[in-house]
């Protein structure tokens, strides 16, 4: 039969647990209808050598999700291995549980200019401790990067995150999509750069972005300063229990249409916080309710006088500082910038 007309190679070598090598040009020449390599090498747990030209002919492939899922012997990838994947849009779970993968080239995805989905890409990559700058610099069509470093399974108490502890500067290129991205319950992430979201000008929702990232120690200055269309930060840093430092101007100026509850439980349970920077919430000029924003910040001892924004609408404060049992002194005029404060 003519393999050039084969539209997909769905899990074609699934579970070939003794396969150790993939040679060059493994797929047909000029595969005009070839679109799917879904899990083609899923579970090839002894695979450790891949020729740089293994996918040389795969210019029409759109889906490479799960391609190397559970390929636990892969340590590195050759130069140019994905250069023919110019049509790929979905690479979800691409390296999931590649537990020996320890190094990535910065240009690995450079030619994949149509890539949209990288969700769960590096989950359980337990030897991968860092990412290179500009890894996704050329992937300006990304729409889904949810948990691309993995996740924590609350039900079973298992950590399925990559070993990455800090993210580099210039990780993502300029992207006009309202990209979906989250580091929800990442139990390994310790530090983030201040330009992490700088190239996402149209991103609107940051709710639960770093929820329960319990090793994150600091929020850099100006982290969200370029995200002028954002409207929701609910639970963004909730239960970041190692968080001790918050930089200046983190949220920028959010004087625009915004969810009235945008700061609900924003820093709930951040037990490492002792103090807050000046004007931390100053940009939230249209928020109508500050509900449990600092609830259970049990080591918080002081508040800046200009913590809250100048807000000319009715504002409610509900459980805002509940259980902040170490606050010893309230500054003068703490609520003076909100003349229509209606509930405490």
Residue 129 and residue 131: Cα distance in Å, rounded? 7
Question: How many other C-beta atoms can be found within 10 angstroms of the C-beta atom of residue 212?
Answer: 20
- Taking 50 as the pLDDT cut, the residues of the chain under it are 1-5, 31
DSSP letter for 318, please.
E
* Dihedral angle over CA of 58, 12, 141, 205, nearest 10: -170
Q: Which two tokens stand for residue 7?
A: 């539209």
Query: Which has the closest alpha carbon to 151: 128, 179, 195, 120?
Result: 120
Q: Which single residue is written with the structure tokens 């090498």? A: 41
User: Which pLDDT does position 344 carry in this prediction?
Assistant: 66
Check residue 34 and give its pLDDT: 66
* pLDDT tens readout for residues 22-57: 999 988 765 455 688 999 999 999 999 999 999 988
Do 256 and 228 touch, CB atoms closer than 8 A? yes
Q: What is the dihedral of CA 40, 44, 48, 53, to 10 degrees?
A: -20
CA dist., res. 236 & res. 244, Å (int): 15
Distance, CA of 112 to CA of 214 (rounded, Å) = 33
Q: How many residues does the chain have?
A: 344
Query: Is the CB of residue 128 less than 8 Å from the CB of residue 163?
Result: yes
State whether the Cα torsion 167-236-333-288 is positive or negative.
positive
- The candidate with the shortest Cα–Cα distance to 287, out of 309, 305, 268, is 309
Contact status, residue 215 vs residue 190, Cβ threshold 8 Å? yes
Output the pLDDT for position 3: 45
Which token pair is 233?
Answer: 């930060």
């Amino acid at each position: 039969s003519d393999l050039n007309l084969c539209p997909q190679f769905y899990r074609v070598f699934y579970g070939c647990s003794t396969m150790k090598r993939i040679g060059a040009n493994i797929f047909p020449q000029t595969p005009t209808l070839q679109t799917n390599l879904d899990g083609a090498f899923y579970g090839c747990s002894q695979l450790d050598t891949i020729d740089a030209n293994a996918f040389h002919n795969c210019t029409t492939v759109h889906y490479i999700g799960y391609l190397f899922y559970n390929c636990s012997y892969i340590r590195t990838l050759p130069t140019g291995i994905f250069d023919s994947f110019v049509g790929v849009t979905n690479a979800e779970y691409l390296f999931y549980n590649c537990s020996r993968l320890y190094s990535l080239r910065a240009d690995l995805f450079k030619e994949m200019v149509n890539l949209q989905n990288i969700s769960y890409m590096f989950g359980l990559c337990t030897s991968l401790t860092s990412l290179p700058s500009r890894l996704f610099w050329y992937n300006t069509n990304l729409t889904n990067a949810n948990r691309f470093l993995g996740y924590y399974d609350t039900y079973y108490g298992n950590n399925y995150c990559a070993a990455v502890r800090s993210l580099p500067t210039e990780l993502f290129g300029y992207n006009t999509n309202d990209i979906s991205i989250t580091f929800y319950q990442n139990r390994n992430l310790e530090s983030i750069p201040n330009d992490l979201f700088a190239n996402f000008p149209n991103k609107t929702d940051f709710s639960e972005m770093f929820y329960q990232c319990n090793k994150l120690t600091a929020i850099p200055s100006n982290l969200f300063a370029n995200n002028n269309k954002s409207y929701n930060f609910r639970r963004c840093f909730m239960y970041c229990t190692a968080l001790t430092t918050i930089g200046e101007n983190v949220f920028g100026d959010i004087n625009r249409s915004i969810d009235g509850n945008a700061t609900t439980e924003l820093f709930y349970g951040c037990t490492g916080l002792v103090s807050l920077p000046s004007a931390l919430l100053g940009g939230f000029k249209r928020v109508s309710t500050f509900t449990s924003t600092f609830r259970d910040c049990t080591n918080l001892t002081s508040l800046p006088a200009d913590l809250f924004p100048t807000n000319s609408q009715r504002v409610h404060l509900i459980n805002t500082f509940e259980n902040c049992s170490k606050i010893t002194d309230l500054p003068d005029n703490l609520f003076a910038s909100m003349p229509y404060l209606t509930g405490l």
